[in-house]
Structure 1
Amino acid sequence: MGDRQGKKAETLAQFHLAIPVHQLPAAKQFYCDVLGAKEGRATEHHLDVNFYGHHLVLHATPEDASHLFDSFEADFHGESVQIPHFGINLDKLTWSQLAKRITLMGYEFLDAPHIRLQGLPGEHASMFILDPSGNALEFKAFLNHDEVFSKVFDPQTKELFTLDELMVSVSSEGLT
């Protein structure tokens, strides 16, 4: 299928998420300066950011909208995770650099860098942080990215590399 100029239309698959924030300036500083997002369109009430290639929109919430930030902890293979949350699956180097940047900029982890599902399909390094409005974000680096959607205990999985180096790197920086 072509477009109006006769060029072939390109396929695009980009995640879009709109989230509530209390203060746009604090949210902009956190997402752009700490997490490395790139600022896009903005108005008095919203900010679009390029979040690792995905379209994240930060919307200023009304003063009486505190119920939008209700959350709870859910069980995930014997660990608690904050619900709701969103995040990004990163490569090992980018994940490690982000963990260091978060620490150097003085932000505390909701759940410090560690390995989940160790020895199982889907093994990954994980860390959680809250933005200034209380939105939970998780960042992951998978042992084998092909296992992102694998079923736990699937005998068809294979290990392509190890996360041990990543955790040693993170812990040597005093992040665990």
Structure 2
Amino acid sequence: MRDMHDACHIAVPAKDLDEAVEFYVFGLGAKMARRYADRVTFDFFGDQLVCHLSDDVAEEAVMYPRHFGVSFARAEDFDRLVRLVETRKLKVLAGPAVRFEGTAERHRTIALVDPSNNVLEFKNYDDPRLQF
């Protein structure tokens, strides 16, 4: 199965590749791996994110049913991301907030919106065994 050298592949539409680079590289700190006329590939927290140039982007940002992001095992990594979002004034759809207070599934979450209305959720569970 997957080992530490494998990467999950995520592909999303992008209306403008320059905006995608600005958000993912200069906003979130992802590394740009490759860029072509029709797509750009990023190292997105150790996984592969590809933004494909497309006219078929969402008119508005909606969390469900489709979003992607990172479930941080360590609280300090989530805290660092929230500080980055605040410092760089990235567009927030929801949060930071606590979900499922009083249950084993309690976690902190923040949802962001990229320039093409793709929704990204970042979270951290109190019990890291529940991140899957």
Separation of aligned partners in 2, 1:122 and 1:37: 28
Higher relative contact order (CA 8 A, sep 6+): 2
Alpha-carbon shift at residue 108 of structure 1 (Å): 3.2
Q: Which structure 2 residues correspond to residues 27-176 of structure 1 after superposition, within 5 A?
A: 27-62=20-55, 65=56, 68-69=57-58, 81-90=63-72, 91-149=74-132
1:85 corresponds to which letter in structure 2?
H
Separation of aligned partners in 2, 1:136 and 1:109: 9
Residue 31 of structure 1: SS of its match in structure 2?
helix
1:25: which partner in 2?
18
Alpha-carbon shift at residue 33 of structure 1 (Å): 1.4
1:24 corresponds to which letter in structure 2?
L
Number of aligned residues? 129
Residue 120 of structure 1: SS of its match in structure 2?
coil
1:118-170 C-alpha deviation (Å, 9 max, x unpaired): 12122111000100110001000110110224xxxxxxxxxxxxxxxxxxxxx
Residue 64 of structure 2: SS of its match in structure 1?
strand
Alpha-carbon shift at residue 70 of structure 1 (Å): 5.9
Runs of 4+ in 1 over 3 A off after TM superposition: 10-13, 70-73
For structure 2, which runs of at least 5 residues remain unmatched after alignment? none
Give the TM-score normalised by the residue count of structure 1. Answer: 0.67
Determine what percentage of the aligned residue pairs are the same residue. 27
- CA RMSD of superposed structures (Å): 2.0
As a proportion of its length, which structure holds more strand? 2
Separation of aligned partners in 2, 1:38 and 1:130: 18
Give the TM-score normalised by the residue count of structure 2. Answer: 0.87
